[in-house]
Amino acid sequence: MVNLEGKVCIVTGASGGIGKALVEKLAAQKATLVLAARRLEVLEEIKRTLPQKEKILCLKCDVTSKQDLENLVGYTLKEYKKIDCLINGAGVSSQYPFWEQPLEDIEKVMYTNYYSYVMLSRLVVNPMKEAGGGHIINITSGSVMVDPPPRNFIVYTSLKVALRSFAKGLFWEMRDFGIKVTSIFPGVTRTPLTGKLKNIAEDRLMEPDSIADSVLFALAQPANTCPLELSVINQQTPWTKPVIPFKQNHPQGAKK
Ligand SMILES: NC(=O)c1ccc[n+]([C@@H]2O[C@H](COP(=O)([O-])OP(=O)(O)OC[C@H]3O[C@@H](n4cnc5c(N)ncnc54)[C@H](OP(=O)(O)O)[C@@H]3O)[C@@H](O)[C@H]2O)c1
């Protein structure tokens, strides 16, 4: 695997399904970790299960708040003087016919799943640039490969598509400074997030460890190699079903 001793990694969404699996793996590789989420008590509980607790800092952070994001980066720099890796993993899902989606829900998805990723990237790139390098890893979504965005998920998916585009641009803009950018595209994974969704094929869910392993793979690559995008998709992905229903039975006399 990869030795992360001495590497400072911020993980947002560390209290969630994918984030928790990830911090367990990063801690096992001896990383110095800053765990961020709103539920500080859950972060502290996770910390209790991890080795080398002295290398783990838990910070309460609402990623929809600019002030909290500035505090997260500011506090990490004050404590450790550098940030080697930012893993943007905080996220919410949202499943509504667009005409029924509450305005507040649209706002929440935009701020959590897009705004926070861009703002945190902006806050860490200069310290990374000064340090001669770094790695930004976004937990995006396999839904970016579904075009058009799936029904009832159009705000969620279109923001993930925007995030994919942002990350690709960020890579080209920052690569001469030694900064890597990786987008991870998970398929449907067993976490509290999918637990809230309707019509999920339980038997096809992947485990969060599979997604966490892809992050470890990205971190293990040599300095001159950046895995720009990694898709980890269910072997029997539900998306092989048509996402736009079409009429199988043509009306009598209709042209085929
Ligand atoms: N699970 C899947 O099938 C799947 C598939 C594709 C992509 N993804 C993406 O993977 C990422 C993680 O998802 P997950 O499945 O692990 O979800 P999850 O288990 O529901 O965890 C979500 C995490 O995000 C944090 N979070 C939510 N809103 C926040 C806020 N305002 N401020 C700070 N933290 C916040 C939660 O922490 P607190 O509640 O403690 O704040 C929690 O740690 C998301 O970006 C999601 O879109 C998931």
* Spans of all domains in the chain: 8-240
Q: Is the CB of 22 under 6 A from ligand 1?
A: no
Q: Which two tokens mark 96?
A: 């509504």
pLDDT confidence of residue 218: 98
Q: Could you tell me the distance, in angstroms and rounded to a whole number, from the CA of residue 256 to the centre of ligand 1? A: 45
Residues of the chain with pLDDT > 70, as a percent, come to: 92
Is the pLDDT at 228 greater than 60, yes or no?
yes
Residue of 38, 43, 166, 188 best suited for mutating to test ligand 1, as the one with most atoms within 8 Å of CB? 38
Q: Is the CB of 19 under 6 A from ligand 1?
A: yes
Q: Which two tokens mark 126?
A: 């200069």
Ligand 1 atom nearest residue 12's Cα: 34
Query: In angstroms, rounded to a whole number, what is the distance separating the alpha carbons of residues 131 and 152?
Result: 43
Is the pLDDT at 255 greater than 90, yes or no?
no
Q: Indicate the CATH number of 8-240 among 3.40.50.300, 3.40.50.2000, 3.30.230.10, 3.40.50.720.
A: 3.40.50.720
Q: Is the CB of 119 under 6 A from ligand 1?
A: no
Say which residue, 243 or 25, is predicted with more confidence: 25
pLDDT confidence of residue 167: 98
Q: Is the CB of 62 under 6 A from ligand 1?
A: yes
Q: Which two tokens mark 251?
A: 């009306």
The H or E element that residue 134 is part of is strand 134-139
pLDDT confidence of residue 238: 56
Q: Is the CB of 194 under 6 A from ligand 1?
A: yes
For all residues of the chain together, what is the average pLDDT? 92
pLDDT band at 147 (very low <50, low <70, confident <90, very high): confident
Q: Is the CB of 13 under 6 A from ligand 1?
A: yes
pLDDT in tens, 73-93: 999 999 999 999 999 999 999
DSSP string, 11-61: EETTTSHHHHHHHHHHHHTT-EEEEEES-HHHHHHHHHHSS-GGGEEEEE-
Average pLDDT over residues 209-236: 95
Query: In angstroms, rounded to a whole number, what is the distance separating the alpha carbons of residues 38 and 48?
Result: 17
Query: How many CB atoms within 10 Å of residue 216?
Result: 16
Residues of the chain with pLDDT > 90, as a percent, come to: 82
Residue owning the nearest CA to atom 1 of ligand 1: 189
Q: Is the CB of 89 under 6 A from ligand 1?
A: yes
Per-residue H/E/C for 174-239: HHHHCEEEEEEEECCECCHHHHCCCCCCHHHCECHHHHHHHHHHHHCCCCCCCCCEEEECCCCCHH
Q: Could you tell me the distance, in angstroms and rounded to a whole number, from the CA of residue 248 to the centre of ligand 1? A: 37
Average pLDDT over residues 27-38: 98
